[in-house]
Structure formats: structure tokens, C-alpha cells
Structure 1
């Protein structure tokens, strides 16, 4: 087949986009293999990690080719992932050619994230809801709502300045801790711990931890270890940011808790 390289590149590009959106390892690998099969390749191999894709085709022929792609860990985007899954299904059902699939892939990559105002409101409501869930009452939920708004604004700033994820977690959790200090000092009559727990939940790496367990279950031990280390380091950064102001003020004698 004279367009083997084009087909292989397309399959890897789709797998790359799926990984960047937070897809499971086994799903990405299965999608890449099904795409190659749908376009008629019969001598190929694909190996997917949580941050990389290795694929080759026609290894026993003169037109042998291979593609290696590094994929950095990134945030989940379910909208893009749903569109990419539909594209893969259409390819497997022979509803689009290589050229059409490439064009649709470009469109999938252009799907935007939610507007900043929506993300801002969602973070505030999420923090308030988590505060209720963990035993807080209306005053704590309202306080956590405003902390969540400021938290999301800080995330916007870190994203704009391209701060690393780990430093972002330290900075934002530190900000959350500082914003909760008036409650801890008794200046504002709300339960300090409930506010902090509710406000840090948008930072907690629940998806990364769940993905690592799923990878272990599917036998992808290397990918599971990568996601597990990522989750543990993220949790450590959050703990450092939250604890630092509280410990400094407590041992400084200015915090009654």
C-alpha cells in the first residue's frame, strides 16, 4: 500500500490527541490498532504508554515505516475525547477516507474548552458542594464558593504564564490556605477545615489515581506507575501548599488551632 506512512501517521495522531485528552491506555492502543486494520494494513504493531506512542507498519517490506510520539501528561477534555472516539468509530465503519479523517482530526483538535466564566462559576459551585459533602453548612459553603472563585482565577494566571503543574498546585493550594486563615483565626465564624477540604477538591488528582488503578488492572504496569507517581506528587504539592501557612502561624503563636 503506497500510503502506509500516511495511514500510520494518522492513527498515531489520533492516539496522540486521545492521550492528551485523558483517554485510557488500553482504549488508545485499541483505537490505533482498529484504525490501522480499517485502512487495510495487516503487518503492524502499536505500543502505547501514558506519555508515548510507538507504532510501526510493513516491517517485512521495503516500504516499512515507524512513528514514535512523545505525549506529555495533560488535563482531561471529555468533549474532544468524545469527538475523537466518534471519528475512530466512523473510520472503523469505513465512513471516511484518510484525507477526510485527517480533516476531521484537525476539527477535533480545535474544540475549545469551556469559557472562563463557566469554569469560574463551576469551580466556585464545586467547592461549595464539596464543602457540604464533607460536613460543612451554609456559611462554610458560601465561604468556600468565594475561595473557589479566587482559586480558579489563580489557575488562569498560572496557565497563562505556563507555570508547571506541580508549582501550580503548590501556589494555588498555598493561596487557599491563606484565604482560609481568617476562619482558622476565628475572625470569620466558619469551620476552617471544612472550607479547606472543599476548596482543594478541584486540585485533587482523582482522575490520575483512578487511571493508574485501571492501568494496573489491565496489566499496563508501567503506565499505571507513571499515573500513580503523578497523583502522589500532585497530592504532596497540595499538602505542602496547605500546611505551610498554617504551620508557620501555629508555631509562631498567632493561630489558635
Structure 2
């Protein structure tokens, strides 16, 4: 067994799980189980939001260490589900390295929703939350259109700068401006309801949920890192909308 290659493939799976939205405990447990299935005597895994470090001791006494830097996240629960299935398959059947590589490539081909579907989802979510928080039909329509605009802006700015804080400040600022202008021109009734509907598209709900789960499960460092990340994102969203409100306050 080519142990170094095995650990590389196992790390590939763990990395994609973390990027796709898995909590730290799930990633560490999956990596440990897969390595143990191939005869590892001891497996030490340290996972935080930006890095995975694995040290494996085999039966022959050889020690192997590999690390992986995580630079971005792209939530994909469908892909996460398939990665979970793959890790269980590896533990149960112990396939050769060629089959593991082939199955990883198959999972990597799992795509997200098409661009048209994503625009529709953004519109649906924004308008639904606007109505939920008390908006009327005109507010829901405006919110849906602004939600699609938000999706367009997020895709555009991430091609220029992948910094999450900058993306959220810019997008929330533009959404705030467009919302206030729309209501001032008579294309909506309640600025706050339309803004709330679109804020919900930016709220880091998964990061906050995983932070709480990590802290409860004992992964305090990772949990606090995720919690701080969610807090910074929330502040950046609030800052963008606040700037728009201050700039266009006379039209509200």
C-alpha cells in the first residue's frame, strides 16, 4: 500500500468535506476512520477553519504527516452527502488507490444549481422573507428583483476579490442603495422589509450553526474561529446597509 498517496486522497476527501459545509468533528472522525481502515496504528488529526493537519503512524512504525490549507468555502450539501457516502464505502470495502481516486473524481463532478436556478432561488428566498417579515406584494416583487441583482453582484465581485468582508460590504451597500431608490420612486412600500429579505441571503447561518456545534462537541478553537468569522461577516453586512442608509437617508 502506497501510504503517502492514501493519506493524500484521504486529505482530499476531508478538505472537500470542510469546504462543502461539514463541521470539524465530522471531518476529523472521517479522516481517522479511513486511515484506521487501512491499518493505521495511530491517527492524529487537527482541523480548524483554515487548515487540516494529519499525522499517521502505521503498523511498521513509519510516521507520515501531511497538511492542507483551506482558503475558501463553497457550501454544497449534496456534495457533502456524497463525500460522507464515499468515506463510509472506503471504511467498509477498503478499495485500492485507483478506485478511491476514480470515486473522488466522480464526486468532484457534482455541480451546484445552474445559474438560472440560482437566480430563481435568490429571488424566491428574498421575496419569501420579505413577506414573512410583513412586506406586501409590491415589496416582495422588488425584493425578488434585488435578490437577483445581489446574485449578479456577488458573482462579479468574487471574480475580482474573494475577500468575504469586502464582498459583503459592497453587495449590502449596493442593495441598500437600490432598495431606497426603488421605494422613493414608488416601486415598493417598506424599505426595511425589502432590506431584511435580502439580508437573509447574506447571513452566515451555516457558519454560525457549525460554530455552536463545534464548541458543544469540544472543538473550542475551531468553534471560536467560526464564531468570530460569522461575527465579522455580520458586521460587514450591517456596515454596508448602514452606509447606504446614511447616504440616502433623506429618501427613506
TM-score by length of 2: 0.93
Q: What's the counterpart of residue 150 of structure 1? A: 149
Is there any run of 5+ residues in structure 1 with no aligned partner, and where?
none
| Cα contact 1:91–1:97 (8 A) shared by 2 | no
Deviation at 1:161, TM superposition (A): 2.6
Q: Deviations over 1:177-233 (max 9, x none)?
A: 011113553634511110000011110111111111111101111101111111111
How far does the alpha carbon of each residue in 1:162-181 deviate from its partner, in whole angstroms, 9 at most, with x for none?
44211111111011101111
Aligned-partner Cα distance in 2 for 1:117–1:68: 37
Q: Which has the higher contact order (CA 8 A, sep 6+)?
A: 2
- For residues 82 and 177 of structure 1, the distance between their equivalents in structure 2, rounded to whole angstroms, comes to 36
CA distance in structure 1 between the aligned counterparts of 2:148 and 2:42, rounded to whole angstroms? 53
Q: CA deviation at 1:159?
A: 2.6
- Between the aligned partners of 1:46 and 1:31, the Cα distance in structure 2 is 10
Query: 1:50 and 1:146 mapped to 2: Cα distance?
Result: 34
Whether 1:106 aligns to 2:105 is yes
Match in the other structure for 1:69 = 68
Q: Which residue of 1 aligns with 2:20?
A: 21
Shift, 1:95, TM fit: 5.9
Preserved CA contact (<8 Å) 1:8 1:56: no
Q: Does 1:244 align with 2:246?
A: no
- Cα pair 1:18 1:81 within 8 Å, conserved: yes
Q: Which runs of 5+ in 2 are unaligned?
A: none
Higher mean Cα deviation, 46-55 or 22-31? 46-55
| Residues 142, 188 of structure 2: 8 Å contact kept | no
- What is the deviation of 1:140? 1.0
Within-5 A mapping of 1:209-224: 209-224=208-223
Q: How many residue pairs were aligned?
A: 252
Q: Structure 1 residue 43: deviation in Å? A: 2.9
Residue 125 of structure 2 corresponds to 126
**For residues 246 and 45 of structure 1, what CA distance do their matches in structure 2 show?**
50
Distance in 1 between residues matched to 2:122 and 2:111, nearest whole Å: 18
Q: How does 1:135-146 map to 2 (within 5 A)?
A: 135-146=134-145
Other-structure match for 2:49: 50
SS at match of 2:71: coil
After TM superposition, give the deviation of residue 3 of structure 1 in Å.
2.0
Does residue 36 of structure 1 match 2:35? yes
Task: Encode CA deviations 1:69-113: one digit per residue, 9 max, x unaligned.
Answer: 111241211121111111111111116322201221122123222
4+ aligned runs moved over 4 Å, structure 1? 59-62
Moved more, 100-109 or 205-214: 100-109
Contact 1:214 1:224 in 2 (8 A): yes
Query: Which residue is equivalent to 2:115?
Result: 116
Closer, same or farther in 2 for the Cα pair 1:227/1:186, shift >3 Å?
Answer: same
Following the alignment from structure 1 to structure 2, what is the Cα–Cα distance between the partners of residues 34 and 171? 42
Contact 2:138 2:187 in 1 (8 A): no
- What is the distance in 2 between the residues matched to 1:127 and 1:249? 22
Task: Give RMSD over aligned pairs.
Answer: 1.8
